[in-house]
Amino acid sequence: MNASPPFLRAENLACRRGDRLLFARLSLSVDAGEALHLSGANGIGKSSLIRILAGLLRPFEGSVHKAGAMALLDERPALDTHLPLGRALAFWGRVDGIAPARLDEVAQSVGLGDLLDVPVRFLSTGQRKRAALARAIAQDAPVWLLDEPLNGLDTASVATVEALVADHCAGGGLCLLASHQPVAVPNLARLELSDFAA
């Protein structure tokens, strides 16, 4: 039996951090094959919304409904900086049950195939971001939550990430991507978080 198509829904969400209400009355819907660009200035609540959707932060109000395994990329790449990149990814491969050949394939797809012997601490910001993306991709989760995946990337790497998102959605996955930068993905919907500022 085939798994049901992935989806992500949020209804009437509000997020409070300390005494400050970041946003309220926010609803969204993303289905299989779709991508949503969550935009807005730094500090407006994009990361908080991603964490709510991932189930890592409770909303102040509202509810989240979802189907399909999730892969999260946020500002913490969670890679051991003392290990060579290949071994750092292999650790998560064992945790996530990913075959080493799949990890190598994904590392190549994000342009890191030649850096697997380099300690993570020597990688640039953009290379670390792509390494974290490789781990997320390798999980083969249908739902991608990507928090600022383009930060620190050069033009070619941005194009690579955009192509990976497009391919993921074309294959029946879905992606919610938070970024204050422009994103070029076919049929990309956009949600401006400032429209829901409290």
How high is the pLDDT of residue 46? 93
How high is the pLDDT of residue 39? 93
Report CA torsion sign: 49, 55, 56, 59: positive
Strand pairing of 7-17 and 61-67?
A: antiparallel
Q: How many CA atoms lie within 13 A of 80 on its CB side?
A: 10
pLDDT of residue 1 exceeding 50, the answer is no
Task: Give tens-digit pLDDT for 54-111.
Answer: 999 999 999 999 999 999 988 777 788 899 999 999 998 898 888 888 888 999 988 8
Residues 6+ apart with CB under 8 A from 18: none
Provide DSSP, 18-46. Answer: TTEEEEEEEEEEEETT-EEEEE--TTSSH
Task: Give tens-digit pLDDT for 163-172.
Answer: 999 999 999 9
Q: What is the pTM of this model?
A: 0.90
Residue indicated by tokens 């290949």: 86
Q: Which fold has domain 32-58+69-196?
A: Rossmann fold (3.40.50)
SS3 66: strand
Query: So where are the chain's domains?
Result: 32-58+69-196
Task: Give tens-digit pLDDT for 170-192.
Answer: 999 999 999 988 999 998 999 99
Residue indicated by tokens 């394939």: 105
pLDDT of residue 132 exceeding 60, the answer is yes
Residue 163 in tokens? 């192509």
pLDDT of residue 2 exceeding 60, the answer is no
